[in-house]
Structure 1
Amino acid sequence: MISGRSSAVKVTPVSKLLCELRITVMLFRRLARAALPLPLLLLLVLVTGCSLLDGGGSSASSHKIDQEEDVISSNGGGISNLDKLDSFMERGSGSQRVVHYTIEGDPVFTELRYEGGRLELSYDTTEDAFGSREVKTYSCNELVRTEEKHQLKYSLKGCEGAMGDGDLLTVSFDLGSQDKFEFILKYGFNLRNEINTVNQNLVKDMLNGTVIEISDYGLPVEDRQSIYRKLVLSNYLGEKQLSTSCNLKPYESYDLTVLINSAERHYAWSECDTGRDGKTMTEAADYIIGLVESGDTFLQLPAATGGVK
């Protein structure tokens, strides 16, 4: 199972020595084909072999995490760039890297690549201090995306060798597993609309200088679960680069506070924020707004009588 935790055993000096010997022999054979002078050949084997031992067969640059392109699973802190994995599957070509962080905070890299109609994988644990610290390659028939009631799975199927089939990535959004989930969303011109599950208030801007407020507003359980799913898939726990500035007059703003268990997260941005995070958060907010405004409680409110100024 790709996403499983490696056993907590560090590399022993004997295994390091054997690894260095294998690397040295391999490099000597490859470099000898280049017909280099013997002194230079020995120097290259010595220097390169040691660097490969330290890096586990991958260059340092290959372990530089790309916050924009890599799919990053932060071990309880959310998953970013999940859409990149979906796009990779839709294309059926190219490559995509998935980075899992262990409990200790070490990255484990899985490189996916379509080759010859199959899915080739490189599983790299060389930066996992408590793992096997090696790079393994596998071949599978396909990567399958399956959404169940409270989780989303990306599973590897038809895999060869000792690896076998398994889950590459699992995203859980089971609201029932949380002790607390509440949110306050203010939106619209001057943030005069509000959906507040903390105080159970619903506020509608009438666009004429007045608002209508409903107390004891209860969001249905299925809607709360749906909203929680949307926020998880939007990686709401991740760091966001958002902007409240806007050159439009008037313009719509968003202000979202999420209370999850004992934590609280706050986000503020405007409709002019067209950055990656701005678009993602606007999509999540509009999803919540659409869900609430299509409900019976909101539909019973009178239509706004004013206009936007």
Structure 2
Amino acid sequence: MGKWKTVIVALMMCMLLAACGSNDQKQVPGTNTSSEWREDYDINESNDVIAMHNRVSNWEKLDSFTDGNEGMQRIVHYTIEGDPIFYDLKYSKSGFQLRYDTSEDKFGSPLVKVYDCKGFEKRESEVDLRYTLTGCKGESDEIDVLTLDYNVSEQDLFEFTLLHGITEKNEIHTAEHKLVKDLQNGEVAELSDFTLTSEERGLIYKEMVLANYLEEKKLSAACDVKPHASYNLTVRINGGERHYEWSECNSGEDNEAMTKMVQKVIAIVEGKDEYKALPEVKGGYD
């Protein structure tokens, strides 16, 4: 009889330990916890999509899922307190899965859920860009895994100054309503009443957000090529300011992304009637 008592006590202890363990990390019954998922909490700044408040890096990596490519992608959302919440995406021919993990959130309850979904969409509007899982089983049919907000009307202040070109004589200065065009013969043409429409400001702010302009950038203004174009950008947003300088000579990811962004800004400005009315370029640089 004593032997059976020992066995019963041991079984009860195992059940108690299992119950305690379930309080540390709640797993939704019937969901997949396959070892194919990334079980670590290491964050790869080069490969993971990282959303830290108004800064989002590597968001373009989600496009491969909207194109229907198989694979996995981690998205890391940071809480206000600075703790990471993990959204791990997986796609195969059978559909999409999302593993939602709050285990590292010190101010929340540890929770792991896995959702099965049929589709994954990229939805772009005038004010934001969303990546959304659709046809999901569970409490919601749709789950937004990432949102980039670029609604400029929600900002208290948004102004920028951009100097660009061979000698940086071209200038866009929104706060001073100033536009300068380098005629490349020692002269410039200038507008002192230049303004952007609300729509144009919105488009420009969108391009800056998509380029993750708030993030620290690895840029270089060094260049051995003559002549070469260079860029000098200052952005004033609400109570903060960001300043960047770089040249066209460097091929780093940040250089390329920032150059692509300012070229879109320049195209918006040069497409305006006020700019087209300025004198044509009269010279050139050797």
Q: TM-score, normalised by structure 1?
A: 0.79
Structure 1 residues 86-95 or 254-263, which shifts more? 86-95
Structure 1, 131-140 or 245-254: larger mean CA deviation:
131-140
User: In the TM superposition, what is the alpha-carbon distance from 1:198 to its structure 2 partner?
Assistant: 1.4
Q: What is the aligned counterpart of 2:232 among 233, 245, 255?
A: 255
**Structure 2 counterpart of 1:18:** 19
Name the amino acid aligned to 2:218.
Q
Letter in structure 1 aligned against 2:80: I
The residue number in structure 2 matching 1:235 is 212
In the alignment, the residues of structure 2 paired with residue 91 and residue 253 of structure 1 have an alpha-carbon distance, to the nearest angstrom, of 38
Are 2:53 and 1:75 equivalent residues in the alignment?
yes
Judged with a 3 Å threshold, the aligned counterparts in structure 2 of structure 1 residues 115 and 58 are, in CA distance, closer, same or farther, namely closer
Q: CA deviation at 1:19?
A: 4.3
Please tell me whether residue 290 in structure 1 is matched to residue 267 in structure 2. yes
Q: Tell me, in whole angstroms, the C-alpha distance in 1 between the residues paired with 2:177 and 2:218.
A: 29
RMSD: 2.1
Q: Distance in 2 between matches of 1:164 and 1:150?
A: 23
Decide which moves more: 120-129 or 160-169: 160-169
Instruction: Trace 1:1-309 onto structure 2 (pairs within 5 A).
Output: 18-20=19-21, 62-76=40-54, 78-162=55-139, 164-309=141-286
Q: Which letter maps to 1:257? A: T
**C-alpha distance in 2 between matches for 1:162 and 1:116:** 24
Distance 2:207 2:143 in 1: 25
Higher helix share: 1
Q: Which runs of 5+ in 2 are unaligned?
A: 1-15, 25-36
C-alpha displacement at 1:277, in angstroms?
0.9
Query: CA contact under 8 A between 1:126 and 1:133: conserved in structure 2?
Result: yes
SS at 1:203 equivalent: strand
Kindly tell me: are residues 21 and 290 of structure 1, through their superposed partners in 2, closer, same or farther at Cα, counting changes over 3 Å?
Answer: closer
Whichever residue aligns with residue 169 of structure 1, its letter is L
Q: Which amino acid aligns with 1:72?
A: I
Closer/same/farther in 2, CA of residues 286 and 104 from structure 1, 3 Å limit? same
Query: Retained in 1: the 8 A contact 2:72–2:90?
Result: yes
Deviation at residue 21 of structure 1 after TM alignment: 7.4
In the alignment, residue 135 of structure 2 is paired with which amino acid? G
Q: Which one-letter code corresponds to 2:244 in the other structure? A: Y
Distance change in 2, residues 1:16/1:272 (3 Å): farther
After superposition, what is the alpha-carbon deviation per residue over 1:45-70, rounded to whole angstroms, capped at 9, x for unaligned? xxxxxxxxxxxx975xx322111111
Judging changes above 3 Å, is the alpha-carbon distance between structure 1 residues 87 and 58 closer, same or farther for their aligned structure 2 residues?
closer
Whether the aligned pair in 2 keeps the contact of 1:138 and 1:163 (CA below 8 Å) is: no
Task: Work out the CA distance in 2 between the residues paired with 1:143 and 1:250.
Answer: 46
CA distance in 2, matches of 1:226, 1:240: 22
SS in 2 for 1:63: coil
Confirm or deny: 8 A CA contact 2:100 2:114 kept in the other structure: yes
Change beyond 3 A, Cα 1:219–1:67: same
